[in-house]
């Protein structure tokens, strides 16, 4: 059961979100944080899958300040070109403001039990990490987040559970960046990091160039257990 909804921004605007509910209509909330391709079929599929597992999943359109309704094909050159343009123009701080507005919206939504987590990919992986440092979200999961190594000064603010999935052969997050992440976060009891040897960026993106079913199933299973533990379902 899915629908398009509107979310009020903190500075007077409105942006869209893709909302997927479980058959029961109620459960914990999960914000699905997009990659650089907008709210495309892959992001909607993640939200639908979480709804099937008993969560109320909401994927907000974070590119709305540049271009509302972005829905790009990650398998085309044109899609990649436009995605990179949008990524370069993206304001991370405004993105976090919009995610906090999404968090507030989801917590108040009928059927949500008050607990809300987030799960993000690529750019969304960075934003999930920042939600753990800048908001009171109940749990956060980041898949192959790009740029986390440049925001590690915020790690001291992590107060709620955070899980990171790191692709060890990630073309966008090199070994030096990965080491910085481990050095900064391994000692934090709120943080769990899983490494995936030989996996490249976006190894869980269904039909993607680097998709690996075995590793994707492992990561997704870990994420589901993590959300159930900290949010209930």
Task: Identify the active-site residue in 98, 165, 200, 201.
Answer: 201
Q: E-assigned strands of the chain?
A: 2-8, 14-20, 27-33, 56-60, 112-121, 139-143, 162-167, 191-196
Q: What is the pLDDT of residue 233?
A: 66
DSSP symbol at 153: G
Of these residues, 98, 170, 200, 210, which one is catalytic? Answer: 170
Quick one: pLDDT at residue 78? 94
pLDDT at 232: 84
Is 230 in the active site? Answer: no
Write down the pLDDT at residue 207. 83
**Residues of the chain with confidence (pLDDT) below 70:** 233
- For residue 7, what pLDDT is reported? 98
- How confident is the model over 12-33, as pLDDT tens digits? 999 999 999 999 999 999 999 9
What per-residue confidence (pLDDT) applies to 120? 98
Specify the pLDDT at position 18. Answer: 98
User: SS3 for 169?
Assistant: coil
pTM: 0.96
Q: Report pLDDT for 208.
A: 84
> For 2-231, which CATH superfamily applies?
Alpha/Beta hydrolase fold, catalytic domain (3.40.50.1820)
Task: Give the residue from 22, 66, 59, 14 showing the smallest Cα distance to 41.
Answer: 59
Query: Is 52 tagged catalytic?
Result: no
Taking only the tens place, the pLDDT of each residue in 34-71 is 999 999 999 999 999 999 999 999 999 999 999 999 99
Cβ pair 55, 233 in contact under 8 A? yes
């Amino acid at each position: 059961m899915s629908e398009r909804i509107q979310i009020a921004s903190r500075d007077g605007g409105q942006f869209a979100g893709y909302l997927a509910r479980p058959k029961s209509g109620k459960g914990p909330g999960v914000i699905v944080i997009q990659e650089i391709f907008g709210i495309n079929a892959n992001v909607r599929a993640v939200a639908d899958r979480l709804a099937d597992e008993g969560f109320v999943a909401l994927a907000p359109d974070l590119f709305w300040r540049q271009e509302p309704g972005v829905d790009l094909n990650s398998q085309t050159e044109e899609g990649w070109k436009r995605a990179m343009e949008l990524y370069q123009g993206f304001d991370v701080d405004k993105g976090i403001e919009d995610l906090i507005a999404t968090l507030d919206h989801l917590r108040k939504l009928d059927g949500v039990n008050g607990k809300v987590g987030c799960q993000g990919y690529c750019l969304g992986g960075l934003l999930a990490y920042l939600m753990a440092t800048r908001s009171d979200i109940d749990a956060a999961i980041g898949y192959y987040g790009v740029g986390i190594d440049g925001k590690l000064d915020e790690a001291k603010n992590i107060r709620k559970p955070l899980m990171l999935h790191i692709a060890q052969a990630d073309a966008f997050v090199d070994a030096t960046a990965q080491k910085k992440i481990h050095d900064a976060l391994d000692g934090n009891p709120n943080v769990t990091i899983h490494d995936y040897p030989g996996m490249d960026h976006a190894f869980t993106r269904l039909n993607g160039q680097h998709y690996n079913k075995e590793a994707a199933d492992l990561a997704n299973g870990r994420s589901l257990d993590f959300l159930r533990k900290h949010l209930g379902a």
